[in-house]
Amino acid sequence: MNRGVSSLTASAVRLSVLDRSRTREGYDGPAALRDTVDLARQAEALGYHRFWVSEHHGVPGVAGSAPTVLAAAVAAATTSIRVGTGGVMLPNHQPLVVAEQFGVLESLFPGRVDMGLGRSVGFTDGIRRALGRDKQDAEDFEARLEELLGWFTGERAAHPHVHARPSEGLRVPPFLLATGEGAGIAARAGLALVIGDLRGRERLLRAVEGYRRDFRPSVWAEQPYVVVAGTVAVAGSEEEARRLLMPEAWSMAYSRTHGTFPPLLPPERVEALEMTAKERGLYESGLSGHVAGTEEQVAEALGAAVEESGADEVLVTTSTYDRAALLDSLRRLARVAGLSSHELTGATA
């Protein structure tokens, strides 16, 4: 075993997966949701620690609009992997309703549910209006977070005669998805931190340092816990790993020039596209800086990122068109990290 592989294996860092339920050309939203549930089964068989789903509203390229509903389907289809959200966007919802949803999940799947929370509001003005929210709703996130956690502990200040059922008294581990200021909120609340992405290393390291420095122990966590999130693509060659990145890189470039996310395209379709200079620049930027390559290259790069950040866990957020290639990437990463795996049923190599 080479030095890169051994460095990642020796770190004993937990590895987890976030799937955004991205739609693909030729496959509709329901197919994307079924793909997510299937990938969760495979991630469990490979030995990954958690499997999370995301929240997006009115985005053409993303089918996952109801993360707690999808998390329930994932939990029902698996037996041991932790299941959660990456994350529920708290400004979009009433804290009581979020507490109730996670209370139900924890009651149905005790000891397996994570409550990942984010600060974002709807993607566009129209979506925000449809949700009954606006950009300012993100500004009182800290107060919303305090209220949400209070529904579980029974210590909420507002609505003293109301109780969240069956949530009150349960302990669903909260995680805060954050960058910059959000890391400070996680530290003050004594919550685990999920931070990305791996490409913005200096910014990530500054935020993690501040989080650890300012962390206040709480009933939720006695010490800091850092999850670094980002795209990780592992293949038999650098070129194959690059092809894994192409669909999402183009989707991001398109969204920044047209204002909407398209379904993911196959790499060969992306390669054949005629791009404007601006699109080409955004696309090439979207391909760069990720942890991608062969098993040896990824082990070296990811091992270095874990060592620099002191991360307790890595959350792999890779999206691509070819689901078989995505599964192969996760399988290769699991092998690099020495995860305990079981025979995959119905898997495509």
Answer whether the bond into residue 312 is a cis peptide, omega within 30°.
Answer: no
The CA-CA-CA angle for residues 44, 46, 50, to 5°, reads 40
Percent of the chain with pLDDT over 70: 94
CA-CA distances (angstroms) from residue 180 to 77, 151, 200, 220, 310? Answer: 35, 27, 12, 21, 17
Question: Taking 50 as the threshold, does the pLDDT of residue 344 lie above it?
Answer: no
pTM reported for the whole predicted model: 0.92
Report the C-alpha gap between 279 and 287 in whole angstroms.
12
How confident is the model at residue 241, as a pLDDT?
98
Question: Taking 60 as the threshold, does the pLDDT of residue 10 lie above it?
Answer: no
Residue 297 corresponds to which amino acid? Q
Report the C-alpha gap between 170 and 191 in whole angstroms.
16
How confident is the model at residue 209, as a pLDDT?
96
Question: Taking 70 as the threshold, does the pLDDT of residue 193 lie above it?
Answer: yes
Structure tokens at 144: 């919303």
Locate all alpha helices (DSSP H) within the chain, ordered by sequence. Answer: 3-11, 29-46, 67-77, 95-108, 125-131, 141-153, 181-189, 201-214, 238-258, 267-272, 277-287, 295-309, 323-337
How confident is the model at residue 295, as a pLDDT?
97
Segment 22-80, tens digit of pLDDT: 999 999 999 999 999 999 999 999 999 999 999 988 788 899 999 999 999 999 999 99
Q: Is 175 helix (H, G, I), strand (E, B) or coil?
A: strand
Residue 82 corresponds to which amino acid? R
**Whether 86 contacts 315, CB under 8 Å:** yes
* Greatest extent of the chain over all pairs of C-alpha atoms, in Å: 62
Average pLDDT over residues 85-114: 96
How confident is the model at residue 342, as a pLDDT?
54
Report the C-alpha gap between 140 and 144 in whole angstroms.
6
- Of the chain, the end-to-end C-alpha distance in Å amounts to 23
Q: Is 118 helix (H, G, I), strand (E, B) or coil?
A: strand
Residue 183 phi, psi dihedral angles, 5° rounding: -65, -35
What domains are there in the chain, each with its CATH number?
14-238+292-337 (3.20.20.30)
- The owner of tokens 């037996």 is 79
**Whether 143 contacts 202, CB under 8 Å:** no
The per-residue pLDDT of the chain, averaged, comes to 91
CA atoms within 13 A on the CB side of 72: 11
